[in-house]
Amino acid sequence: MSSSLKRLASVERGESVVIEVVGAAGAHGLRLRELGFARGRKVRVLETHDPMLCVVDQARVGLARELAEGILVQ
Amino acid sequence: MSAVLVDAASNIRRIAVAGNPNSGKTTLFNALTGLRQKVANYPGVTVEKREGTLRGYGDVTLLDLPGAYSLSVQSPDERIPRDVLLGRMADTPRPDGVTIVVDASNLGRNLYFATQIIELGLPSLIALNMTDRAASGGTPVDAAALARGLGVPVVSTVGHQTRGVDELARAIAAMDRARPPQRHWRLPPAVEGVVQRMADSLADQGVAPRDACDGLALLLLTDHRGAASQDGEDVWPAAVEGLRASAITELSRLGIDDVSELIVDARYTVINDLVDRVAPRGVAAGRAAALSDRIDRIVTHRIGGWIVFVAIMVAMFLAIFLWAEPLMGAIETGQGWLQGVVRAALPEGALRDLLADGLIGGVGSVVVFLPQICLLFLFIALLEQSGYMARGAFLMHKLMTRVGLHGKSFIPLLSSFACAIPGIMSTRMIENRRDRFTTILISPLMSCSARLPVYLTIIAVVFGGNVWLQTAVICSMYLLGVVAALLIARLLKRTLLKGPPPTFIMELPPYQLPQAGAVLRTMWERSSQFLTGAGTTIVAICIVLWALAYFPRDADGARLAAAQHSAAMAEASMEDADTLAVRLAEIENERIGRQLRQSYLGRIGHAIEPAVEPLGFDWKIGVGVLASFAAREVFVGTMGMLFSVGESQDDGGQLRSRMRADVWSDGPRIGRPIYTVPTGVAIMVFYVLCCQCASTIAVVRRETQSWRWPAFMFAYMTVLAYAGALLVYQAGTRLSG
Ligand SMILES: Nc1nc2c(ncn2[C@@H]2O[C@H](COP(=O)(O)OP(=O)(O)OP(=O)(O)O)[C@@H](O)[C@H]2O)c(=O)[nH]1
């Protein structure tokens, strides 16, 4: 728990992080969580442009940066 | 046992098949049912409803549910799995059980959906598919441990190799109706109490069967939007909203504001524990996943990705046009031969002409596109099954948001280059209604394969034989359609279908070598859908057109021609056989021309000439354009008929030289050629922009469930086409002096 929280959108290419907070409200938040962007899950970032490309668990998910701004990770 | 036989019909068990997209559900369903499938639509939404008998067990019917990630409802089609499983779908009785296809190589996310389904209380069975990929990825799944953890039977399968399919069929047939499964995890006790009370009330009010109410209560608390009524139709009895609201109030008194998040997180926590137990991560990193990573590093790269994308598109369209040509030639030859046979076999008269020209000619004008359409569907199936299609949407997203659309709209637009009908049908995967309708409304602007013969004929007439010039002109016509579509989309998203640009969330499936059988099957299903759907309309139109051109018969003309014929025969000397033949052909053409001018079609043509004259069109082009409003495929055939190019349809060369030689017979331009460059380009621009396809209108009506949208589409495209052609012609004639 030494490192502090940062936004998923600012994670470097190739880096792996753990999700802490999924901030997007409403339908987007629900969809993100159901696709596996839920607290405690590991995410690896493959591409950092918009949309981003992430690996959650074993699934590859394309994700708008705007949504990644609302996801806090460490 | 005789009691069973008496009432065999009610003894059929219906088992639903559910699963995540790309879990291999379709593959397993096909393997379980063979080819004996019934395809229909769910009422109200146009999602395919597939049913089939379980192979080897005549008393079990399988029902394929659309793929989904969860039971939450964010677009109209997404309510199908939920409502079928709850028995709330019209025309679809609640199934007796459910088989859940789970992708073993992506266990966590698949179990999210699986547990939601299990909690709806139907006897359940897990088909643990893709076990090969999970094993090679270094995380094999312990099926027995999974079965213990979930409390339902689990059968391991490898769908595309049909491994485990017999065991799966046996397990489905042996499903235990008496023991509905139970939720195997708990929320914090205070929350649990609220959920239980809500479940009891739901059951008391008869909203759903009692076994389903625990799962339903969780679902209603998770999914705010799905709980509300949608698109004006009441999905739930009014009492449901009241129960949900009071549960939410109770929970907020306990200090819980976001019960949705609480439930999803709790569910995932339980699933993560389960996954750690049944599929502990091996040390070997997955080779397949690593390969997908490497491919994606290029294919989704911001520069490399575009190079790959453009290369694929160019290769695909080149292949479609080059490979289809010999086949199309063969079909035309076959059609000519068949017309010859019919002409030889039947006595002269209306029936013979109807069969040979109306029917065979009409059917032929559709069948001739089949090679191109099959090839396009083949490539689309390859792109889909290899996993590339989703990458295309991913890459295109940024560009598409500029006009307010989602990257996913790229897929229907691409299909529309073959035919707008399958394109429009594939817009169903776009969740947002406004984005979906915008995509539907612009799809017909993509130059479909039916426009190509029009372009080819006109280009050959007005631009001569320079291949480079011809190619450049065709490409600009395709481009014009795309640019117009994007501009219209932008306009629509700012006015009628106003809404923010959609946000991108989309799974990109792992790369996979496509299976030949599956690819061919998809290609064939879609092509035959096109053939039967579009084909019947076009045949009907061809017959009507033929009749309009054939009646009323011109008796005077026929008599005159017969007299001229005898006179020419009498005058002719023996040495002059060639001159005689030319003279006789002239007489015949004159007769056909006269017949046509005074036919209903000719009268209509002359009536509309003033309207099309500013576009540089004469009455014949006017008739061709008018006839094309039913289906643009008929343009070339109609021109052939109007220029009375003899017997068979495949002498395009003759049609082209006659069109080139055609001159204005009256008006200010009398004696000057009709088919100038401005007129030719105006015709093509008109065809690019106009919605000349009754089948497309019918599909838009079906997909939007209203006449308003197809009417709007037809109106805006017609105006656009007329204005575009007018501009091109008027500017073109001014510039060329
Ligand atoms: N490696 C592997 N591939 C499989 C297996 N089962 C199916 N596939 C392949 O996975 C891909 C997706 O299969 P589909 O049957 O189309 O999946 P689906 O769940 O119906 O997907 P949607 O049509 O998108 O809902 C196809 O290319 C199949 O050949 C399996 O057990 N192992």
CA atoms within 13 A on the CB side of B133: 28
Burial of B348 (0-12, 13-18, 19+ CB in 10 A): exposed
- For B159, the token pair is 């769908």
Please determine, for residue A27, whether its predicted confidence score (pLDDT) is greater than 80: no
Residue B342 — φ and ψ, nearest 5°?
-65, -45
User: What's the farthest any 2 CA atoms get from each other in chain A?
Assistant: 32
- For chain A, the 3-state helix, strand and coil shares in percent, each to the nearest 5, are 25, 40, 40
pTM metric for this prediction = 0.77
* C-alpha–C-alpha distance, residues B286 and B304, integer Å: 25
Give CA separation, B619 vs B598, B623, B643, B654, in Å. 13, 6, 12, 20
Which residues in B lie closer than 8 A to residue A64 (C-beta atoms)? 397, 503-505
Ligand 1 centroid – CA A52 distance (Å)? 25
Of residues B289, B302, B506, nearest to A62 (C-beta): B506
Cis geometry, peptide bond prior to residue B21 (ω within 30 degrees of 0): no
pLDDT at B646: 46
pLDDT at B592: 74
DSSP B90-136: TT-PPPSEEEEEEEGGGHHHHHHHHHHHHTTTS-EEEEEE-HHHHHH
Q: Name the nearest CA neighbour of B442 among B631, B723, B717.
A: B717
Q: Is A44 helix (H, G, I), strand (E, B) or coil?
A: strand
* A39: closest chain B residue by CA: B265
Q: Name the nearest CA neighbour of B209 among B94, B125, B64, B115.
A: B94
Please answer whether residues B158 and B130 qualify as being in contact, where contact means their C-beta atoms are separated by less than 8 angstroms. Answer: yes
- For chain B, the 3-state helix, strand and coil shares in percent, each to the nearest 5, are 65, 5, 25
Which residues in A lie closer than 8 A to residue B223 (C-beta atoms)? 30
- Contacting residues for B716 by C-beta, under 8 A, at least 6 apart: B441, B488
> Per the CB < 8 Å rule, is B507 touching A62?
yes
pLDDT at B146: 94
* C-alpha–C-alpha distance, residues B237 and B281, integer Å: 46
Ligand 1 centroid – CA B25 distance (Å)? 6
Please answer whether residues B175 and B207 qualify as being in contact, where contact means their C-beta atoms are separated by less than 8 angstroms. Answer: no
ipTM score assigned to the predicted complex: 0.90
> Per the CB < 8 Å rule, is B112 touching A39?
no
> Per the CB < 8 Å rule, is A30 touching B507?
no
Ligand 1 centroid – CA B280 distance (Å)? 24
> Per the CB < 8 Å rule, is B505 touching A47?
no
Residue whose tokens read 């137990």: B277
> Per the CB < 8 Å rule, is B505 touching A66?
no
Residue whose tokens read 């994308």: B309
Q: Where are the domains of chain B?
A: 13-177, 520-735
* C-alpha–C-alpha distance, residues B28 and B159, integer Å: 5
* C-alpha–C-alpha distance, residues B538 and B139, integer Å: 54
> Per the CB < 8 Å rule, is B407 touching A51?
yes
Q: Name the nearest CA neighbour of A35 among B504, B367, B175.
A: B504
DSSP B505-543: EEEEPPP-PPPHHHHHHHHHHHHHHHHHHHHHHHHHHHH
- Contacting residues for B653 by C-beta, under 8 A, at least 6 apart: none
Type and span of the H or E element at B183: none
Give me the CATH topology for the region A6-73. Answer: SH3 type barrels. (2.30.30)
Cis geometry, peptide bond prior to residue B552 (ω within 30 degrees of 0): yes
* C-alpha–C-alpha distance, residues B686 and B725, integer Å: 5
* B116: closest chain A residue by CA: A34
Work out the minimum CA distance from A64 to partner chain B, whole angstroms: 5
* C-alpha–C-alpha distance, residues B131 and B105, integer Å: 7
Of residues A26, A35, A50, nearest to B505 (C-beta): A35
pLDDT at B41: 54
* AA letter at B376: L
- For B133, the token pair is 């990929």
Ligand 1 centroid – CA B64 distance (Å)? 14
Work out the minimum CA distance from B523 to partner chain A, whole angstroms: 27
Q: Where are the domains of chain A?
A: 6-73
Give CA separation, B173 vs B13, B85, B119, B178, in Å. 9, 19, 21, 14
Please answer whether residues A35 and A7 qualify as being in contact, where contact means their C-beta atoms are separated by less than 8 angstroms. Answer: no
* C-alpha–C-alpha distance, residues A47 and A14, integer Å: 8
Q: Name the nearest CA neighbour of B356 among B366, B368, B344, B367.
A: B344
* AA letter at B541: I
Q: Order of strands, edge to edge, in the sheet holding A6-7?
A: A6-7, A71-73, A16-22, A42-47, A52-56, A59-63, B505-508
- Contacting residues for B598 by C-beta, under 8 A, at least 6 apart: B552, B554, B557
Per-run averaged pLDDT (10 residues), chain B, 737 residues: 43 91 89 75 61 91 90 78 88 92 92 95 94 84 93 93 92 82 88 93 90 92 64 66 90 88 90 89 60 85 90 85 83 86 84 78 73 83 87 89 89 86 81 88 92 87 84 91 95 87 83 85 79 69 78 82 84 73 77 80 89 91 86 78 54 72 82 91 96 86 87 96 96 86
Of the residues B27, B62, B136, which should be mutated to test ligand 1's pocket, given the most ligand atoms within 8 Å of the CB? B27
CA B135 to chain centre: 35
Ligand 1 centroid – CA B162 distance (Å)? 12
Burial of B283 (0-12, 13-18, 19+ CB in 10 A): exposed
Give me the CATH topology for the region B13-177. Answer: Rossmann fold (3.40.50)
CA A31 to chain centre: 13
Work out the minimum CA distance from A39 to partner chain B, whole angstroms: 7
B646 lines ligand 1 (CB under 6 A): no
Please answer whether residues B365 and B452 qualify as being in contact, where contact means their C-beta atoms are separated by less than 8 angstroms. Answer: no
* C-alpha–C-alpha distance, residues B447 and A14, integer Å: 41
Please answer whether residues B20 and A36 qualify as being in contact, where contact means their C-beta atoms are separated by less than 8 angstroms. Answer: no
CA A37 to chain centre: 6
> Per the CB < 8 Å rule, is B508 touching A34?
no
Residue B355 is classified by DSSP as I
B509 lines ligand 1 (CB under 6 A): no
* C-alpha–C-alpha distance, residues B224 and B218, integer Å: 11
